[in-house]
Structure 1
Amino acid sequence: MTDNAPRIHPTAVIEEGARLADDVQVGAFTLIGADVEIGAGTVIGPHCSIHGPTRIGRNNRFIGHAAIGGEPQDKKYRAERTELVIGDGNVIREFVTINRGTEGGGGITTVGDDNWMLAYTHVAHDCHVGSHCVFSNNTTLAGHVSVGDYVIISGFAGAHQFCRIGAHAFLGMGALTNGDVPPFTMVGSDSLGRPRGINSEGLKRRGFDAERIASIKRAYRTLYVAGLPLAEAKVQLAEQAAHSADVKDLLDFIEHAERPLLR
């Protein structure tokens, strides 16, 4: 083995057609499928399986026992060609499962950059995960779920099919949401998944100043505390959005809802 060759454990299986950057590391008893591409600096731990078509970017870490790019758990799937695309700098812990897409769902599952997926996280077919997210142990996303940037999902929490979770949202431990979670919103630690305010501490950590946070709080009160019908709340949010890009993002999210808004 030359210095420039991939560092692959002798018990690993790399199928013909897989493409690995020169410095990719592959641990013991790991399988890399034929239509898999893995970028530079990525480390694949022991006992992983990565099936294709799957594209994995640079500097990712798969700690071990992860099952990546498997067939979607969908009875309608008929072995059509679908794919999984993972970005850069992600940490994928033990027993994480991420499935490829389905033809009916657009054919692709995507994961952005700099995400942490802790043990036993499941990302189902046709999900789209943004960047800088943290999914704690046993986070479960059903099919077709969309997750924005900087979302934190606590342990044993999850989302129903086709739900959207907006950027900077926070789901408490065990929260199960069956509706769209607006950006910046905290969801309580209970099976009903009720809104419990905004993720102000997370916003502070990400550099949101007091004025921006105050505008988001005002929008949250309009949507959830004032007791307004949704149509009337949206009228008031539109007025507030004229002075706040964050409120505009919140309103845009609501306007594109496919499932009922979590209220």
Structure 2
Amino acid sequence: MFFENWPYSVSLLFILFAHEMGHYLPARYYGVKTTWPYFIPLPVGPIGTMGAVIQINQPIPDKKILFDIGIGGPTASLVLSIVAWLVGISLSKVITIPPDFDRSGFLFFGDSLFTYLTSQWILGPIDFSTMDIQAHPLAKAGWVGLLITAVNLLPFGQLDGGHVIYSMFGEGYRKWIHSLFLLFLIFALLHFTWLLWSFFIYFVIKVEHPFIKDSVLGIGKFRFYFGFIMLVTFLIIFVPKPIILGSEFDDSSLLIDIFRLITDNIGLDL
């Protein structure tokens, strides 16, 4: 098992290290004191890690520096995760699922728009009702790296996406960021993972970013457009249902149940 799966561990640790270096190097460049990365192991579950973190040990001077430190991490992990996923999925195999196959003892990894389209492009056409992908360890590392990048790009509090969106829109974003958080709660109706993240964001990370003063010259057009591209990328790599229990594979989500209840009550046949 070790020799079959070491590419997963090594490549994922490298992705996590690159992500933290994407924060660490800009911080050091601007003279902001920070720690080395701390890796957080998780010796249970299908992923095996809770990622890595660095700690900023002094206030960040202005929003331009905040932007550069915040966006460096997800940019690095995004690029490496895409490479790992594309190479890994090209080494993966498509298998046929027997009609009487019992899915209940297995975990299934959900798809983002990016992973679905690229797997169909490289290995397809794939009918996931009767087929599945036997993923190469490198593809698994790319999938986890993309998931971690997407979570970090959530535009709230002191997550990387929170740094980016606050730097882009300034103090005015406080007028609508809570509305955006309410919109995010819709995903909690799709999968319990996002319900847990909603509680974590609201009570720990917080919805709004702490005050950082403006840069004298602002963040500039290049940073603004780059930040916008990264936020759009978040939508493409976001996984609505990250991990699905085999016993719940064919079950509908709470959101779909609510939608069906509404349509039934108003007499729509959809």
Kindly indicate whether structure 1 or structure 2 has the higher relative contact order, using CA contacts under 8 Å at least 6 residues apart.
2
- TM-score, with structure 1 as normaliser: 0.26
- TM-score, with structure 2 as normaliser: 0.25
> Quick check: which one's strand share is greater?
1
